Amino acid sequence: MSAEATSPAKVGIIMGSQSDLRVMGDAAEILEEFAVPHELTIVSAHRTPQRLVEYAESAASRGIDVIIAGAGGAAHLPGMVASMTPLPVIGVPVKASISIDGWDSILSILQMPAGVPVATVAMDNARNAALLAVQILGCADSDLRDKMTAYKQALAAKVETMVERVDREGWRAVRSSL
C-alpha cells in the first residue's frame, strides 16, 4: 500500500489523518534507525472503513508482523484493526486538536474488551510505539535485541554526559542553556 523500504515491510504504521504525521513520523524514524523494513500510510476508521478492513485483513499475509496505529479523539483505528488481525497492534493516543486533553484518545485505545488487546503507549509517544515494535521483533531476531540493548546503553550514556556537564558547569549554567 505504500513503500518506505526495499525489503518487504515487517511493521505497518497507520494513522487516521495526515495531521497525525506530526506525531507518527517519529515511529518511522526509529524504525529507520533500527533498519526495520516498514511501511507508512493513512487509514481512517471513520472515513475509509472499507480500507480499514482491507488493511487489517491483509496485513499478516503481506508479511507484516506488527501494526502501529495512531489516532486522536474517539480513536477507533487501533482497536478495529486489532479486531481483524492475529498480529500484535500497538496504539498511539494522539492529542489532536479535537481531543479533550487527550483523555478521549487514551481511553478509546486502552480500554479494549477481553479478547482483543491493543498495546497502548503514552500519549503522542510514537517513538515508544516503534521501540516496542523493535522489542517484539527482537523475540525472534537476536541482532535486533542486541541493538535494543545498545540503544538503552546509549540512553544511559546520554544521561551520564549531562550529569558530568551539570557537575562541571553547575546547574545554573545548564538551566540557562535550556
- Within residues 17-56, the interface with a second copy by CB under 8 A covers 17-19, 21-22, 25, 28, 40-42, 44-51, 53
Task: Give the whole-angstrom CA distance, residue 21 versus residue 92.
Answer: 12
- 62 lies in the binding site for a second copy (CB under 8 A): no
Task: Give the whole-angstrom CA distance, residue 172 versus residue 176.
Answer: 6
| Burial bucket for residue 126 (CB in 10 Å: 0-12, 13-18, 19+) | buried
Q: Which parts of 93-122 interact with a second copy (CB under 8 A)?
A: 98-104, 106-122
Name the minimum Å distance from CB 161 to a second copy.
10
Task: Give the whole-angstrom CA distance, residue 131 versus residue 27.
Answer: 8
Establish how many alpha carbons lie within 13 A of residue 35's alpha carbon, considering only the half-sphere containing its beta carbon: 5
- 129 lies in the binding site for a second copy (CB under 8 A): yes
- 83 lies in the binding site for a second copy (CB under 8 A): yes
Report long-range pairs for 137-146 (Cβ below 8 Å, ≥24 apart). Answer: 137/10, 137/11, 137/36, 137/65, 137/66, 144/34, 144/36
- 1 lies in the binding site for a second copy (CB under 8 A): yes
**C-beta of 47 vs 62, nearer to a second copy:** 47
Q: Looking at 9, 36, 68, 82, which residue binds a second copy (CB under 8 A)?
A: 82
Cα Rg for the chain, rounded, in angstroms? 18
- 73 lies in the binding site for a second copy (CB under 8 A): yes
- 69 lies in the binding site for a second copy (CB under 8 A): no
Name the minimum Å distance from CB 8 to a second copy.
14
Name the minimum Å distance from CB 1 to a second copy.
7
Name the minimum Å distance from CB 135 to a second copy.
4
- 5 lies in the binding site for a second copy (CB under 8 A): no
